[in-house]
Amino acid sequence: MKGTNIGEFEELVLLAVGLLYDDAYGLAIVAELKKQTGRNVSLSAVHKVLIRLEKKGYLSSYAGGATRERGGRNKKLYIMTSTGKEVVNQVKDLRNHMWDSIPKIVWDSK
């Protein structure tokens, strides 16, 4: 597990990239996070995390999808790499495992 720890926000971004599948670029992720979590996230924060995740090898990117709305500029589109997917899975497994290990009594007592 060591070395694959990622922060909560990183995890969210990673998940959003997966969720958006072939249209995962900065602004779309901002919108998605807003939709999913209700948080107002700044564009720069998302880009920062995207760059970091790409450096760590969890994401890869390609250019494409220039539109009029973007003043003719390319999007930087991200997809999860296999390590990225693995990390998301690990995180999920870890959570599930820990969640399952919580004794019943915790839920029963108020």
Partner 1 sequence: MTSPNPPRWITRFFRWFCNPEISDAIEGDLYEQFRYNVKYKGLRQAQFLYFWNVLLFFQPFAIRRNSEKSSKLIIIDMYRNYFKIAIRNLIRHKGISFVKIFGLAVGMGCTLLILLFVENQLSYDKDHQHRDRIVRLESESWVIMPPYLGETVKVFPEVENVVRFYFWYEPTLRYEENVFTIENFGVVDSTIFKVFDFDFLAGSAETAFYAPNSIVLTKSIAYRLFGSENPIGKTVLMGGQDRFTVTAVIDDVRKFHMDINGLVSTEDIARVMGSRDILTSRNFNWSIYLLLQPLVDKEGLIAKINERAVEVDQYGGVPLILRDFNDIYFARNLAHEKNTKHGNINLVIAFAAIGVLILLIACINFINLTIAKTRTREKEIAVRKVTGAGAPSIRNQFFGETLIVVIISFALSILMAYLFMPTFNYLVSEQLQLQNISIEMLLVFVGVLLFTVFVSGIYPSIYLSRVSALSILKGRFGKSGKTAVLSRLLISFQYAISIFLIIATITVNRQLSYMQNKDLGFSNEQILTCRMKGDKFASGRDNMIASKAAFTQRLTQNPNVKGVTFLNQLPGKITNTASFGLTEEDQAVPFRVINADPSFLDLMDIELLYGRNFSDEIQSDMDTKLIVNEEVVEVMGLENPIGTILIQGSNRMEIIGVVKNFHFNSLHQRIEPSAIVWDWWTTRACIKLSGSNLNQTIVNIDEIYREFSPGVGFEYDFLYESFGRQYEAEKRLEKIVLSFVILAILLSCLGLFALTAFVAEQKTKEIGIRKALGAPTTAILWLLSNNFIKWVLVANVVAWPIAFILLRNWLESFSYRIDLGIWVFVGSGVLALLISFFTMSFQGVKSALLNPVDSLKYE
Which residues, in sequence order, are CB contacts of 84 under 8 Å at separation 6+? 14, 17, 53, 57, 58, 59
Q: Among candidates 27, 16, 9, which has minimal Cα distance to 67? A: 27
Contacts of 99 (CB under 8 A, 6+ apart): none
Which residue stretch of 3-11, 15-23, 74-82, 94-102 sits at the interface with partner 1 (rule: CB under 8 A)? 74-82
> Phi and psi of 78, rounded to 5°?
-115, 145
Report the nearest approach of partner 1 to the CB of residue 26 (Å). Answer: 4
CB-wise, 43 or 94, nearer to partner 1?
Answer: 43
Candidate segments 2-10, 43-51, 83-91, 101-109, binder of partner 1 by CB under 8 A: 43-51
Sole window of 4-12, 68-76, 87-95, 102-110 interacting with partner 1 (rule: CB under 8 A): 68-76
User: Residue 93 corresponds to which tokens in the numbers above?
Assistant: 């497994």
Does 56 interact with partner 1 (rule: CB under 8 A)? no
Under the rule (CB under 8 A), what is the footprint of partner 1? 25-27, 30, 42-45, 47-48, 51-52, 63, 66-67, 69-71, 73-76
